[in-house]
Amino acid sequence: MEGSAAVTGLNPDYLLPSSRRASPFLHSYTSSRSSFHRKHSSPFFYKFQKKLRLPSFNARQAVSPISKEEKEVPDLDWDNLGFAIVPTDYMYVMKSSHGGDFSNGELQRFGNIELSPSAGVLNYGQGLFEGLKAYRKEDGSILLFRPEENALRMRSGAERMCMPSPTVDQFVEAVKATVAANKRWVPPSGKGSLYIRPLLMGSGAVLGLAPSPEYTFLIYVSPVGNYFKEGIAPINLVIEHELHRATPGGTGGVKTIGNYAAVLKAQSAAKAKGYSDVLYLDCVHKKYLEEVSSCNIFVVKGNVISTPAIKGTILPGITRKSIIDVARSLGYEVEERFVAVDELLEADEVFCTGTAVVVSPVGSVTYLGKRTSYGDGVGVVSQQLYSVLTRLQMGLIEDKMNWTVSLS
């Protein structure tokens, strides 16, 4: 590929070379894949495939020109997007050895990937992920929301998980390149967003418990609508008092993949009973709020908004951080501290925040079989904060916080 522009350029027509440029790219690509296969060509190497609607990529796909269909708007029902994977056109891949730097990232056709059965991520859970969104403005341009914050959080998590991580600049440029290559999948203004999923995983083969010898940074995207089927309508939570999401000194404060597998049992049981999700308590005193399965929690009483403090067991959510700043700018007093379950039950209003949910009002909380409800609809505070933040994310109001990044 032609220098650094192949990594950071934002025009997918240029990133995928013409027939005159295809030969050197193909040579570089196939040489790296041949080297990889020689290194791992044993009976223990196999193709790790998720059964998606698209086939796994190969060298021919990686250099194929953009088709006429790929320049057209996808045939999707933009008014009824859920939160589920929709295979798009391209993904971004970059590799590093243990102790080394990430380099030579490239766009590839979205599809299956290959991993050794003894990859660190499969055997020991050495993996992190991030989540952020791209929005289409009314004029057709595209905005990213605080991508540098995701980069910093991934670097913090990587240090805890003994992994190398892309620099902030590498992360942000990779996100820009991936969104630009998949720009036709960004929903029309007000119809949803393009969810961006960066992954960092130990992809090298390792048998004994040790850091992986190789790491892969990968980004894929999917157009999405509301995370909860209720949309902006209030959700119903149940408090889990037996199972716990995180422990002091553990990894609850970083976005490692194992944190999310651990909540599936309680979440599945809750949804089977008709609840939207689960709210977890601390594992020591079993009375202080921690977070919902994949989002932070806020409690409103009068003009005071309280949320559990970041103390190692709670993920430092970027939407959480943004909502705190927005709330203070609107005149609310925001407290980050221990919040007891009794305060939740006596609150005027409760809401959750997260990249996927943005701001989700809570209609009821059930604790030890007793249900507490909060009004008949969306609370005033929840609605105000949701409106300000989403309008800022979509470019409908002036970004005085300097949080958005524009793609031309």
Cβ contact 159:208 at 8 Å: no
Indicate if 301 belongs to the active site. no
Cβ contact 198:173 at 8 Å: no
Give the residue carrying structure tokens 């003994």: 162
Q: Which two tokens stand for residue 401?
A: 């916080």
Burial zone of 16 (CB within 10 Å; 0-12 exposed, 13-18 middle, 19+ buried)? buried
Cβ contact 45:98 at 8 Å: no
The answer for residues whose C-beta is within 8 angstroms of residue 401's C-beta and 6 or more apart is 322, 325, 392
Count other Cβ atoms within 10 Å, centred on residue 233. Answer: 14
Alpha helices (H) along 195-279? 258-261, 264-272
Please choose, from the candidates 291, 311, 312, the residue with its C-alpha nearest in 3D space to the C-alpha of residue 360: 291
What's the gap between Cα 148 and its chain centre?
13
Rounded CA separation 203/200 (Å): 9
Rounded CA separation 78/180 (Å): 19
Please choose, from the candidates 7, 225, 247, the residue with its C-alpha nearest in 3D space to the C-alpha of residue 108: 7
Rounded CA separation 303/156 (Å): 33
CB half-sphere exposure, 329, CA atoms < 13 A: 13
The answer for residues whose C-beta is within 8 angstroms of residue 195's C-beta and 6 or more apart is 83, 131, 132, 133, 221, 222, 223, 224, 355, 356
Out of 255, 273, 301, 400, the active site residue is: 255
Cβ contact 354:83 at 8 Å: no
Catalytic center residues: 255
